Structure 1
Amino acid sequence: MQRGSDRLSVRRDDEMKHELQGLLKSGHPTRTEEWHDPEPTAEDDPEVAHGPVTPSRGPTPLETVRLDLARILTRGTFPAGPRELARALRRGNAPDSLVEQVEELPQSARYGTVQELAEALTGAGEAGPGDA
């Protein structure tokens, strides 16, 4: 008998597969009671600050670049300069456009986190002292 980390019995697992079979094949809820289905967001729902990405609000360029960098670079990569970061991105098979952007950064600069690097690449956080 196999003992794993399964929380459910084999019988209950089969029942759940059977219950979900209609949903998986049809692509929409198949229950007759509407109260089981999740309620979609309404147009007049309040905007949640930095909430989930919805069709009306896509990710910002900073979020997109940060996510791309975080998929490839590890904490052990930092702190580093553009040359070391470009090498790490190449080893991680990053897109050439991202590697080229990093190589164009000032060679004397050092970045301690993915956030700092993403801000440098997108120009975020470059507000001058007179900007508010």
Structure 2
Amino acid sequence: MQRGSNRVSVRRDDEMKHELQGLIRSGHPTRVEEWHDPEPAADDDPPVMTGPVPARGTGGEAEALRFEFARRLGRTTFPADRGTVLRTLRERHTPDRLIARAEELPSDRTYHTVGEVVSALGLHPEA
């Protein structure tokens, strides 16, 4: 098979994939020696790894909350009512601040997406 201008051999390419599997699966560095890890983010770096970056001039509270709920609830939770959302959040050991926000949801509605959950809390993502 022709590999074009790639300077890495097929064997080395497979070795590199094997080395990165732990990092890709776990989402955090897997090496014991700290000097192998990449340099941590600076204080003034945008929060790209921790959630959505808000548009300039907006607070981004709705986007951040939607991101956190989406991480905890996933797609399989929906459609769901308030009780199902709360039960799923508790089963997945969600931080108390998110559970407190979910307790504010109206109990007479069925939610089909995370966006509907965030909108029901009175927050609307900026367009």
* TM class by smaller structure: 0.5 to 0.7
Task: Report if the CA contact (8 A) 2:80-2:110 is conserved.
Answer: yes
Post-superposition Cα deviations, 1:14-60, rounded to whole Å, max 9, x if no partner, equal: 9xxxxxxxxx68xxxxxxxxxxxxxxxxxxxxxxxxxx838x66761
Count of matched residue pairs: 83
Aligned residue identity for 2:111: Y
Task: Report if the CA contact (8 A) 2:82-2:102 is conserved.
Answer: yes
Q: Is it true that 1:109 corresponds to 2:109 in the alignment?
A: yes
Post-superposition Cα deviations, 1:88-127, rounded to whole Å, max 9, x if no partner, equal: 01111111111122122111111100111112224328xx
Offset at residue 74 of structure 1 (A) = 1.8
Indicate the SS of the match to 1:84: helix
- Which deviates further from its counterpart, 97-106 or 81-90? 97-106
Structure 1 runs of 4+ off > 3 angstroms? 56-59
- Structure 1: any 5+ residue segments left out of the alignment? 1-6, 15-23, 26-51, 126-132
Aligned residue identity for 2:80: A
**Sequence identity (%):** 37
Report what 1:83 is aligned to: 83
Indicate the SS of the match to 1:71: helix
- CA RMSD in angstroms comes to 3.4
TM-score, normalized by length of structure 1?
Answer: 0.51
Indicate the SS of the match to 2:107: coil
- Structure 2: any 5+ residue segments left out of the alignment? 1-6, 17-37, 40-51
Report what 1:121 is aligned to: 121
Post-superposition Cα deviations, 1:64-96, rounded to whole Å, max 9, x if no partner, equal: 011001111121101111111011011111111
Q: Distance in 2 between matches of 1:122 and 1:100?
A: 14
TM-score, normalized by length of structure 2?
Answer: 0.52
Q: Which has the larger radius of gyration?
A: 1
Report what 1:92 is aligned to: 92
